[in-house]
Amino acid sequence: MAKIQDFNQRFNYLCLSIVINSAGNALAISTNLGSAVWTASAVNLSKWVNIPLGTTLFLYGIVVTIVNQLMIGSFDRRRFVSNLLYTVPFSYLVQFSQWIFDSLGVPTYSFWLRLILDMIGLFCVAMAVSMYSRANLIMHPNDDMAYIIRFKYISGSAVTSQWLSYIPPVIISTLAYLFTGKVFAIGFGTAFALIFQGAMMKWSDTHAFPKLKHHVDL
């Protein structure tokens, strides 16, 4: 009975985190002041290759899922499937949520209001990542990469693992700029996420839904 209750709690938090994560990323994109590092790179990749953002995020997720398996050093079927299971709803929820925020006129709000909304969106992203990292049922491959780095390679540091996991999206965004000459979804919010997301995750680990504990499987 205790195991069933534990699973139910983890599953409920997982579902909530997917919604929060998608909405937070979409809100940051809609403000036009910079989104989370991985999302910003997906937006730039989408513009570069000229395919919808949702599809870009999905294909991005598949590639990172494969990279995660290489980092683990052996094929983890549960992790492989779970990464893909998270990628599908998240990718298209971001696209749908952005459409909602755009329809509400978020891109036309005053600079200072958009700045506040951008930070709120990015905090929601960090909180959501903390939630489903702790639940550890299924996880977005981008964040699973940071999770693998955190617990397999650097002894649990949330901040350092986030910084290291940002290397691929920074490279993608740089390449997109070199080929297109334009930058999208990169600005204040991207720098804010780059500097503070690890710290916001660390704070969320103990303050956002503190009853949810880490379920480490590495």
- pTM greater than 0.85: no
CB 72 within 8 A of CB 1: no
Angle at 82 between CA 80 and CA 84, to 5 degrees: 75
Q: Is residue 179 a part of any domain in this protein?
A: yes
Tally of domains within the chain: 1
pLDDT-based confidence at residue 36 (cuts at 50, 70, 90): confident
Position 1 scores a pLDDT of: 64
Q: Is residue 2 a part of any domain in this protein?
A: no
Q: Is residue 130 a part of any domain in this protein?
A: yes
Q: Which domain holds residue 101?
A: 7-207
Percent of the chain with pLDDT over 70: 96
Q: Is residue 110 a part of any domain in this protein?
A: yes
Q: Kindly report, residue by residue over 148-160, the tens digit of the pLDDT.
A: 898 888 877 777 8
Q: Is residue 1 a part of any domain in this protein?
A: no
Position 135 scores a pLDDT of: 84
Q: Is residue 213 a part of any domain in this protein?
A: no
Euclidean distance between CA atoms 41 and 21, whole angstroms: 16
Average pLDDT of the residues in 58-84: 92
Average pLDDT of the residues in 156-175: 86
Q: Is residue 194 a part of any domain in this protein?
A: yes
Both tokens assigned to 37: 């590092």
Q: Is residue 215 a part of any domain in this protein?
A: no
Average pLDDT of the residues in 79-94: 90
Euclidean distance between CA atoms 18 and 88, whole angstroms: 11
Please count the CA atoms within 13 angstroms of the CA of 199 that sit on its side-chain side: 5
